[in-house]
Structure 1
């Protein structure tokens, strides 16, 4: 038997009309540790923060603060980017810009925040060597280049110490902007002009903290003062020509509490506190309103040079991200935190790209009418996109994703490449109707109607355990309903839902993975058609005395028996054997068989994530706990139903024979990102179509991407 992949993306591509829309799709990812030289300790933390591209569009340069270096990538073939190595900077690089064959890198050399210092390092890209340095007189943040390459502007932030006096400004010394002439590929350090910004903002006027700078075709510089909630324009005469407060936004329909519940019914007013900034033409200014001090309005704004708001996204960008399951409830003070802005014209169409640091996505907007931008796509990125660069001459976009999670056994930082072409958007593969928050998709089961599925969310959203109704007949699949699981009329607590099965009467059986250290019991629950718990089945003492925290991962029904997959070995299991538990609902008895796991690689484990009975077989998901390049075991297996004969607990258990029916590793590569760790859900409908879903961990230490695809089961 074979399972043949039929992803919604591939099916759409096959049926693509002759004149399809132009869309961006990710075509490659490259992990930053690959830029380390042979023999280096590749376990060290690394990052990709701000990224730029050479004038021919073939070489990328990104800043890597942990390694105190810049990394180079060969982009000749955008589908196969190649590492070109790192160049040490003698401090923490913040931004690099390329003019001709030279890269100009802002480097923070501060001994402390009270005594900031920095330099501009010139790197010869051909020799990959530092050839010159300029003292900047403070801690540089961003660097921008003039359109004609005649000068550079550097924001000298001299950032505050958030641990000092609760981070309250002013904290001296004040920040400023420097302007440096560039002549014949070299910076004229003696020509440095210092442009003061004090006395402008209503907040911390004596302590401006410039963040991002950009330069228009006239040679005017725009700079954001993030903590000061202010925007400044510097004229060609090196004097401030205009400045204005970034103001505030009243947000409605937002989640205002970090409580493990996705409730988008809140209202708040927040200062914009813009971070990234770009000129749109010569007269409009686009900012990403991340917030860092007391604000953060979760969106992005277009101003004219007088400070008049031309467009305000409000909560709309965040709400679009919510529908994709990328809302970061665990870090929700500033919501999705838009970080940076990129602007470029593709085939005559002006596009604005807005990155969300916390949701790990990039919004793509058509700004043909700046007063009414149109959201075209939301692109999946790596964990925490910090910088972006568009390469319209090659129909490319590149993101730098800064967070390295390998210390926790998770993904490294990545640079990701997107190509624009005729076709269909590969992402999202599943989304929700407006207003439905979701994520951490776990157990999955097919309903009784064609294309109908039900899913549960796990303990990430423990305050609001949900059963989701999914219409898989649409592309992308659509979550049409979220039903709260309740106990005595209120949201049920102490659940970690990992499995769901139909009861045949309109209700559901749910499996909850216990955590005794958090007072969450291992248990089976029955809920009615409205989600109310009306029965709880606890584990017998024979099982509980040998429990570990890795419990139930899936539930399925065979006649009067509920079968549950236990994720990992418990204390009474032989190494490499896990229980498939059976509970007979009529006789109220327990039994089990043993399932043999694949041997894990050193430093990892292998376990089960799902169980579903269909026809003459029981199908399971078997996976390791590895991610990205270390992922090795992600597959669907099956056991003949005839072997599922449970023995009594406490004695020797029969060992079933498994058969691998599909290696899921290639399926995890379809979006060209890094491989997800958790394939959590599997469902089989009456027509023999199987559906698979990954768990995005509620965007906690995760890119937030959810992969959802189908396979046909053939005899």
Structure 2
């Protein structure tokens, strides 16, 4: 098939499309991402999961070191040039590494060697960073979880969690043996095993006092160790020199109002939870009197906040759901985790120059909240996108760098790998988020995600409409977007309804205007779930006025992958709808899919055949169709992510001379021409390339906009890429 050359005039760079007014002060932006599977030996099976969980750095800040629990290894990343991280290899350890910390030229690695939950064991390995050789080891007598080094490098602290068996007695504690705290004196950058002190933490908490389960440690400049006991909902402060407990107190509870508490496929920030245990995870000292804890709420569940305590137990600040709201406004709210919310798990604190920064990581929202520590209420600065499941957060102020270690690896599901991500603080404009939602009058966010189709308003430039797919099955929604704001802003959410109630059995994958103030929507069917392949006409109130099923002659050949886009050509009685089928149906030749045409007045269906690009991995299909200036613009993409992604393209098909055939007849094959390759746009954020480039439209001024579907933060990092690619002009 011959292809005519095409130039889309004035395609603007992604950075220009997300231009933000000049920042008054420095901000963090992601400059690189490193998939830790790249660190594996050449002969390793890279189809198996790896992980980067807890992360530290050499004292010069040029080598990152992380724990890889599923692979049983300690990994190294060379960040001499932080924008171009290089493989540093791994060292296998006998057991499961749970935490790492550096002192001098060594990394101290806590390793779990437990025979079972009831018979825990572990050790502290000393590894030479330069040679990658094991130098020494100390027996810990239990299962370790977190390691910390004192600022003066005289002490190391290791929490022995002896974690509970979640399958035993529904995970309830006590479950023996109890955990404890180990303290070592350091000499020449290594722990002296003979100096190990064991600090008994039993008898402190009201919850399961006989079974202390310490989770995380941090040491201040007075050599006082803050220890969180997550399942016990307790915090202790211990003197490193003597091993004596300085103070201890219950972490307390929070009352949460206006939160989403139901896993029901809809955003409803109207619930409440009272007396929720904080259940703190990570702890970091802010100074010698205050520390911050990230309240993961993983045991009983749901605290979704972070708290600043004084070391005598007073609450200096409680965030409540405020960070969760910001994460939801950025489209990262994990609806499937409603009881536990965004699960704030990781934290870090450091001074960059004279500015003290606090970082709080959301495990389920895959974001990092950045704050300034004011000594009173922290001041919110920005949100940073991260990989899936950020666990470790590391600041390297000497190089103006922030690092996240993201533990989740979805290789077995064909998804993204575990990544280490690198951010730099400098005078620049924040480049994420690219689209956010507005705040309702009651202070709650307009929840959104999984944007799967776009269309421009007929009259107002920069005004767009998008639909969400079946992730939000109980509230299918049409969103209004103001693309002229930076970042773009979702200003309204209109639920699609039948008989006044939210419509069910919908998987909306396309949207176009109907010329009368309403919309035509494309619904992707699923025979197994009784969801029909159909097109819907809704009015400006979102009420469904007409439902049209695909023709009977077509349906016997259906598969799971159906309608993925819809566009309107013509006005009034001359209006027709064009739709696309994502993948080959049973009556299609391999490598060819259908573009469907529906004459609204005549109620007649016809089709043409569209040739797909070939691929070496996975499959290639279609995601969007948009009519503009005598052309049909079509998104063609593969189902690959990260380094495996190759095809994220925009093609055009000329409407002039297009002669569709009746369903059942031999379909003419269209000629397509490449209009734009989105790979550069999708790499511009320095994360991994997203799979689902789902929406494209041209507004009333001729500007092209594209958006990715974040799958509702289910099996993804939640990032939504939204960009303006400039004027769309086809010339031969």
Query: Same fold per TM (> 0.5)?
Result: yes
Q: Are the equivalent residues in 1 in contact too, given 2:104–2:188 (CA < 8 A)?
A: no
From the superposition, tell whether residues 177 and 643 of structure 1 become closer, same or farther in structure 2 (CA, over 3 Å): farther
Which of 319, 326, 332 aligns to 1:326? It is: 332
Q: Are the equivalent residues in 2 in contact too, given 1:274–1:296 (CA < 8 A)?
A: no
Say if 2:635 is the partner of 1:630: no
Say if 2:448 is the partner of 1:438: yes
Q: Match for residue 593 of structure 2?
A: 578
Structure 1 segment 31-430 matched on structure 2, within 5 A: 31-235=35-239, 236-269=241-274, 270-368=276-374, 370-430=375-435
Q: Are the equivalent residues in 1 in contact too, given 2:254–2:278 (CA < 8 A)?
A: yes
Give 1:268 shift: 0.9
Which of 598, 610, 618 aligns to 2:624? It is: 610
Give 1:331 shift: 1.9
Q: Match for residue 442 of structure 2?
A: none
Counterpart of 1:545 in 2: which secondary structure? Answer: helix
CA distance in 2, matches of 1:10, 1:415: 27
Give 1:20 shift: 4.3
Q: Are the equivalent residues in 2 in contact too, given 1:622–1:634 (CA < 8 A)?
A: yes
Which of 2, 8, 13 aligns to 2:7? It is: 2
User: How much is the aligned-residue C-alpha RMSD, in angstroms?
Assistant: 1.1
CA distance in 2, matches of 1:166, 1:264: 29
Give 1:598 shift: 0.2
Q: Are the equivalent residues in 2 in contact too, given 1:5–1:667 (CA < 8 A)?
A: no
Give 1:332 shift: 2.0
Give 1:651 shift: 1.0
CA distance in 1, matches of 2:188, 2:669: 75
Give 1:580 shift: 0.3
Counterpart of 2:170 in 1: which secondary structure? Answer: helix
Counterpart of 1:642 in 2: which secondary structure? Answer: coil
Q: Are the equivalent residues in 1 in contact too, given 2:536–2:547 (CA < 8 A)?
A: yes
Say if 2:566 is the partner of 1:555: yes
Counterpart of 2:681 in 1: which secondary structure? Answer: helix
Give 1:11 shift: 4.9
Deviations 1:174-214 (A, max 9, x none): 00000011111221101100000000001011101000000
Deviations 1:304-336 (A, max 9, x none): 111111000001000010100000011222100
Counterpart of 2:661 in 1: which secondary structure? Answer: coil
Deviations 1:588-611 (A, max 9, x none): 010000010001214x10000000
Deviations 1:43-102 (A, max 9, x none): 221000000011111110000001100000001000001111011111110111111101
Counterpart of 2:380 in 1: which secondary structure? Answer: strand
Which of 612, 617, 629 aligns to 1:597? It is: 612
Give 1:252 shift: 1.3
From the superposition, tell whether residues 647 and 12 of structure 1 become closer, same or farther in structure 2 (CA, over 3 Å): closer
CA distance in 1, matches of 2:581, 2:312: 63
Q: Are the equivalent residues in 1 in contact too, given 2:520–2:538 (CA < 8 A)?
A: yes
Counterpart of 2:554 in 1: which secondary structure? Answer: helix
Q: Match for residue 549 of structure 2?
A: 538
Q: Are the equivalent residues in 2 in contact too, given 1:254–1:315 (CA < 8 A)?
A: yes
Say if 2:579 is the partner of 1:564: yes
Counterpart of 1:9 in 2: which secondary structure? Answer: helix
Q: Structure 2 unaligned runs (5+)?
A: 1-5, 440-444
Give 1:35 shift: 0.5
Q: Are the equivalent residues in 1 in contact too, given 2:125–2:136 (CA < 8 A)?
A: yes
Counterpart of 1:657 in 2: which secondary structure? Answer: coil
Q: Are the equivalent residues in 2 in contact too, given 1:12–1:424 (CA < 8 A)?
A: no
CA distance in 2, matches of 1:307, 1:580: 65
Say if 2:567 is the partner of 1:526: no
Q: Are the equivalent residues in 2 in contact too, given 1:260–1:463 (CA < 8 A)?
A: yes
CA distance in 2, matches of 1:259, 1:53: 42
Q: Are the equivalent residues in 1 in contact too, given 2:95–2:112 (CA < 8 A)?
A: yes
CA distance in 2, matches of 1:299, 1:571: 50
Say if 2:675 is the partner of 1:661: yes
CA distance in 2, matches of 1:201, 1:709: 51
Give 1:644 shift: 3.0
Counterpart of 1:541 in 2: which secondary structure? Answer: coil
Counterpart of 1:276 in 2: which secondary structure? Answer: strand
Q: Match for residue 3 of structure 2?
A: none
Say if 2:699 is the partner of 1:685: yes
TM-score, with normalisation over the residues of structure 2? Answer: 0.96
Q: Are the equivalent residues in 1 in contact too, given 2:17–2:725 (CA < 8 A)?
A: no
CA distance in 2, matches of 1:520, 1:660: 33
CA distance in 1, matches of 2:17, 2:653: 29
TM-score, with normalisation over the residues of structure 1? Answer: 0.98
CA distance in 2, matches of 1:358, 1:643: 50
CA distance in 1, matches of 2:424, 2:393: 14
The count of residues paired between Structure 1 and Structure 2 equals: 711
Q: Match for residue 671 of structure 1?
A: 685
Q: Are the equivalent residues in 2 in contact too, given 1:21–1:424 (CA < 8 A)?
A: no
From the superposition, tell whether residues 49 and 478 of structure 1 become closer, same or farther in structure 2 (CA, over 3 Å): same
From the superposition, tell whether residues 35 and 520 of structure 1 become closer, same or farther in structure 2 (CA, over 3 Å): same
Give 1:468 shift: 0.1
CA distance in 2, matches of 1:314, 1:39: 48
Deviations 1:512-554 (A, max 9, x none): 0000101100000000000000100011111100001100010
Deviations 1:624-660 (A, max 9, x none): 0000000011000000011432210101001110001
4+ long deviations beyond 4 Å: none
Q: Are the equivalent residues in 1 in contact too, given 2:114–2:120 (CA < 8 A)?
A: yes
Give 1:7 shift: 5.1
